Structure 1
Amino acid sequence: MHRRGLLLATLGTLAGGAAVAAAEAPERRAQASALAGQRLITGIARAGDRLVAVGQRGHVLHSGDGARSWVQAAVPANADLTAVAFADADTGYATGHDGTVLGTRDGGRRWERLLDGRQANALVLDHMQRRVAAPDAEAQDHKLLDEARRNAEAGPDKPFLDLCFTDAANGFVVGAYGLVMQTRDGGKRWEPWFDRIDNPGLLNLYAICASRGALYAAGEGGLLLKREPEGDRFHALGSPYTGSFFGIVATSAGVLAFGMRGHAYLSADDGRSWQAVATGLPASIVSGAVAGDGTVALVDQAGNIVRSADGGLHFTTSGLNPSMPLAAVAFADDKTLVLGGPRGLRSVEFKTKDS
């Protein structure tokens, strides 16, 4: 199992070119459960004034009252979900195990399947076969073709771990063993970027975010990548750390990457250099969120919470004690955090901005 999978486990049709339309597959729906809000939650996102949370067995919950109550959504997949993001109040996407990608057009109330692992494997294999047949094919392309064949033979067992959509149509999903897929039409078609990232070791990609028109990805072994605005490749950045990064977020001060053993690094110069940030967190940082007023919150696996009022340059303890291990965090508003973990969902409120 990939490293972040271990971390969370301890907490409880082909079309022309490289694009493909999502094919029909047997539908496996998430089961309705009165206890869904008390089970493992691994991702939370804002959808306008609403909140949407995702977790194990395809569970998706949404709240329209600031996280005071939650309603389970109908979901045509039962794979564990790892991340959720919204491009606007209505249009959102979720991703997870078995190559699952889901989409919603009504703020998270109803979902449709956009991609699964079999389709993703077929996409990557077809793409690499075309790439190896090209006149400018390189030795690395042949290695990637071999890997694509192995993945197809193994079946749909590779998870997507995070996603980033810059608008309702354009987005990327990233995942295990260097998997990267792009859509330009809201998930109707997907294009592999398997051969367009500087990741010869096929390290896991755990997180992706957008900042100032560029995309940043972070992963295993200190891997940091950047795609320039409208660029055709993710290029490796000089990394200050050899441990895994489990998250990366854009803040008012730059780009903040965080991960194992409480380590966090901030780049204020578009990824050219990174400075260590003292978070005060003792355990692996598993999630981060940025409020509308710019406040940054980080949570670690052990249930500790810190926040920053200056974009991640400095962190202070939050004074909050959710008394549970954590896997996800989001701001319901500038003073209320929504937390997720193996014991489900919980919200906590700061007493004052500087408390």
Structure 2
Amino acid sequence: MLLRHLPALAGLCLLATHVQAEPPALDYPIRPQQVLLLNVTAPGDSLVAVGERGVVLRADKQGDQWQSIRTPSTRTLTGVAFVDANQGVAVGHGGTLLRTTDGGRHWQAVEADTNDDALLGVAALTDGRMAAWGAFGLYLLSTDNGVTWQRHSVLDEDFDRHIAQIIVLADGRWLMVGESGTLASSADRGETWQALESPYAGSLFGALQLQDGGLLIYGMRGNLWYSADGGQTWEQRDTHTTFAFNGAIQLRSGRVLLLGNSGVMLASDDQGRHFSALPSTHASLARAIERGDSQLLAVGDHGVMSLPSLATTGQD
């Protein structure tokens, strides 16, 4: 079933609270516009998207023809990341970890210490390192491109907040955002974390470093914050909405786009200093990537969407 609202679209409202029998594995074609998709990435010359019921969709770089891939899981997949054109990892509910070595054509289950808690995201970071994160402080590191994983604590042993995203900053630090205003940085490639003063006590769903070094963090109820000093101080940006923001991207043109629930999209053409509303997409969006032809491909509760007009720079 497609969901009208996708708070965080990282899985925060989709967490399984009870163990349920798994439905039969998918073995039929999935239409790319009729499935809930939560993440998309572009390894090599292909596109890979993941979503509900263990769905993996794969296409060439143009995104014209999508093939549904059967995986070992029927749990909702929330994140996908590749270290190169062939090696990638997808994560999801119930502690699901899947790995591919052929660009997403085939997937194998990977064991890790997750306690069956939901994984909400994964990233390929630096020097063969990957990080996966999720509910109740679940945080895993891999140093071998996702073959094996080790569980680590965040901040302290009692940390139990949902982690929404981890990104690598230009200065080499890692930045983490999450539930209850979680904001932390790591100077040792994710081994240990130090709390940063957060400007917001509610849930943060994502972060983006801009081309000029500025930082954006965003989340619930239209909250959007900007930092020009690496996260030491923050200024709130007026978004004129109370819908959650799920993703952000800076295009090659320099334009910054924020993707939200219920079709909300904002754009900035001055490195995040001011934002204005774009026409509604009439669909909640989770993530987007810019294709080589400058068109934007997004995923959300209407599956795959092409948004060609948003890649051009405008004036706020």
Identical positions, percent: 31
Aligned partner of 2:95 in structure 1 is 99
3-state SS of 1:89 partner: coil
Aligned partner of 2:314 in structure 1 is 354
Measured in 1, the distance between the counterparts of 2:244 and 2:190 equals: 32
Measured in 2, the distance between the counterparts of 1:67 and 1:270 equals: 36
Give deviations 1:261-281, integer Å, cap 9, x for gaps: 111112232222222223344
Residue 201 of structure 1 and its aligned partner are, at CA, apart by 4.5
- Would you say 1:209 and 2:167 are equivalent positions? yes
Could you tell me whether the CA contact under 8 Å between 2:174 and 2:189 is conserved in 1?
A: no
Measured in 1, the distance between the counterparts of 2:64 and 2:245 equals: 26
Residue 184 of structure 1 and its aligned partner are, at CA, apart by 0.2
3-state SS of 2:263 partner: coil
Aligned partner of 1:120 in structure 2 is 113
Aligned partner of 1:299 in structure 2 is 259
Q: Which TM-score applies when normalising by structure 2?
A: 0.84
- Would you say 1:315 and 2:275 are equivalent positions? yes
Give deviations 1:275-308, integer Å, cap 9, x for gaps: 2223344410012223344432211111111223
Aligned partner of 1:53 in structure 2 is 49
Structure 1 residues 225, 60: CA separation in 2 closer, same or farther (over 3 Å shift)?
same
Structure 1's consecutive aligned runs of 4 or more residues displaced over 4 angstroms after TM superposition are 6-9
The counterpart of 1:290, out of the listed 250, 256, 259, is 250
Residue 168 of structure 1 and its aligned partner are, at CA, apart by 7.1
Aligned partner of 1:197 in structure 2 is 155
Unaligned ranges ≥5, structure 2: 1-6, 16-21
Give deviations 1:169-227, integer Å, cap 9, x for gaps: 21111110011110001222211112x42574511111111112111111111111111
Structure 1 residues 314, 178: CA separation in 2 closer, same or farther (over 3 Å shift)?
same
Give deviations 1:307-349, integer Å, cap 9, x for gaps: 2334323323334x42222233222247322222222111111
The counterpart of 1:38, out of the listed 34, 39, 44, is 34
- Would you say 1:188 and 2:181 are equivalent positions? no
One-letter amino acid of the structure 1 residue matched with residue 278 of structure 2: S
Aligned partner of 2:18 in structure 1 is none
- Would you say 1:273 and 2:269 are equivalent positions? no
Residue 353 of structure 1 and its aligned partner are, at CA, apart by 2.5
Structure 1 residues 215, 74: CA separation in 2 closer, same or farther (over 3 Å shift)?
same
Could you tell me whether the CA contact under 8 Å between 1:47 and 1:107 is conserved in 2?
A: yes
Aligned partner of 2:105 in structure 1 is 109
3-state SS of 1:38 partner: coil
3-state SS of 2:291 partner: strand
3-state SS of 2:299 partner: strand
Could you tell me whether the CA contact under 8 Å between 2:86 and 2:103 is conserved in 1?
A: yes
The counterpart of 1:341, out of the listed 297, 300, 304, is 300
Aligned partner of 1:90 in structure 2 is 86
3-state SS of 1:120 partner: coil
One-letter amino acid of the structure 2 residue matched with residue 273 of structure 1: T
Could you tell me whether the CA contact under 8 Å between 1:327 and 1:341 is conserved in 2?
A: yes
Q: Which TM-score applies when normalising by structure 1?
A: 0.75
3-state SS of 1:185 partner: coil
User: What pairs with 1:201-240 in structure 2 (closer than 5 Å)?
Assistant: 201-212=159-170, 213-230=172-189, 232-240=191-199
Measured in 2, the distance between the counterparts of 1:30 and 1:245 equals: 33
Measured in 2, the distance between the counterparts of 1:8 and 1:246 equals: 14
Aligned partner of 1:259 in structure 2 is 219
Q: How many residues align?
A: 298
Structure 1 residues 239, 6: CA separation in 2 closer, same or farther (over 3 Å shift)?
closer
Residue 45 of structure 1 and its aligned partner are, at CA, apart by 1.5
Measured in 2, the distance between the counterparts of 1:98 and 1:318 equals: 36
Could you tell me whether the CA contact under 8 Å between 1:51 and 1:62 is conserved in 2?
A: yes
Structure 1 residues 231, 349: CA separation in 2 closer, same or farther (over 3 Å shift)?
closer
Residue 239 of structure 1 and its aligned partner are, at CA, apart by 0.2
3-state SS of 1:221 partner: helix
Could you tell me whether the CA contact under 8 Å between 2:214 and 2:230 is conserved in 1?
A: yes
Structure 1 residues 317, 335: CA separation in 2 closer, same or farther (over 3 Å shift)?
farther
Residue 59 of structure 1 and its aligned partner are, at CA, apart by 0.4
Structure 1 residues 280, 104: CA separation in 2 closer, same or farther (over 3 Å shift)?
farther
Aligned partner of 1:79 in structure 2 is 75
Give deviations 1:138-191, integer Å, cap 9, x for gaps: xxxxxxxxxxxxx5xxxx2x1011122114721111110011110001222211
Structure 1 residues 353, 29: CA separation in 2 closer, same or farther (over 3 Å shift)?
same
